[in-house]
Each structure stands twice: as C-alpha cells, then as structure tokens.
Amino acid sequence: MKRVVALLVVACSVSPAIAQRVRVDYDHGASFSRYKTYNWEQLSEPQSPVGQFPNQLMHDRIVRFVEEALAARGLKRVEKGGNLQVGYQMNVTEQVQYNTVGSGWGWDGGFSTTTTQTILTGTLIINMMDSREKQLVFQGISTETISSRPERNTRKLQKAVNKIFEKYPPRL
C-alpha cells in the first residue's frame, strides 16, 4: 500500500504545473466588421531570463499561425496602412517546483527526499490596434509551460493562437 501511495505522489508531482490558459479582452464599442486589412507592428522585446525566446524559428511560426488565423476570418495582410496593427510579445518566466517523495508515513521512521525543478512558463500576448484611432481593440493572452522539445512548443503555440482567435471577431 505504501508503494502505491508513493507512486501516486510521484505521478502527481511530475504533471505540468500550469495548464494552458487563454484570456481575451476587446473594445466593446469597436465595430469589428469594418476591419478588413492588417499589418504587423513590432512590440517590445521579449522578456526572458533564459536568453532569446522566441528564437527566429519560433517567431516565424507564431507569425504564420496568426496570419493563418486572421486569413480564416477574412482579414488580408498588407505591408502598410492596414485597418489593424497586429503585434505579439512573448514573456518567459522561471518557476521553481519542489517535489518531495517519502517512504513511510512520518511516524514509523520513514525518510523523504525533496528535489527542485525549474519550469519555464511562456506568456504569448497578441494585440490588435485600430490604426486610425491608435487604440487597442483586441487582446489575447495565453500562458503555458515551455517544453524542452521545439516540436511540442510548436503544437502548444498553434493551439494557443487558435484558441485566442476562436473569440475573434467578438460576438456582441
């Protein structure tokens, strides 16, 4: 019985610390039906304790995923002068997770071992601004753990972008 409990503790401790969360906010007074074109606007540099993230490969994938989502909603990309200015920002933070595994129940002379694990959490922020009014009209934010495997991060980013744009244009 003690081994079963210990295995359950270990199984629970290695699960991801944060599941993907998506939040969307928008200007309730904006007329989204008038937005037909967009161009890219550069946001601030990524804030990452682990160096450049996203790298150029991931940047290109994020841009592609956003462009696919916008094209599916009837928006056309232009180099300059779009109705919307679209930009994204990626922030990465480190979180320390403590995992304790023990034998016994504490009263029978058991022992425990605690290990630490650093988990990287990425937050993708997509902003859409009305070019004429210079006002933010739509923002989507997705937070997810970052994997050490690029192919897994690619799938997570695509899922995040798709979830954000499920809510665009907003249904008033």
* DSSP H or E stretch at residue 119: strand 112-130
Cβ burial, residue 45 (10 Å; 0-12/13-18/19+): exposed
What is the Cα–Cα distance from 158 to 48, expressed in whole angstroms? 20
Task: Map out the domains of the chain as residue ranges.
Answer: 2-165
Spell 6-36 as b/e; 16+ CB within 10 A means b: eeeeeeeeeeeeeeeebebebbeebebeebe
The pLDDT value recorded for residue 79 is 93
DSSP letter at 107? S
Could you tell me the pTM of the whole model? 0.76
2-165 has CATH 3.40.50 classification: no
pLDDT per 10-residue tile (average), the chain, 172 residues: 38 49 94 96 58 81 96 96 95 88 67 86 95 96 92 95 93 70
Q: What is the pLDDT of residue 2?
A: 42
| Two tokens, residue 64 | 């592609």
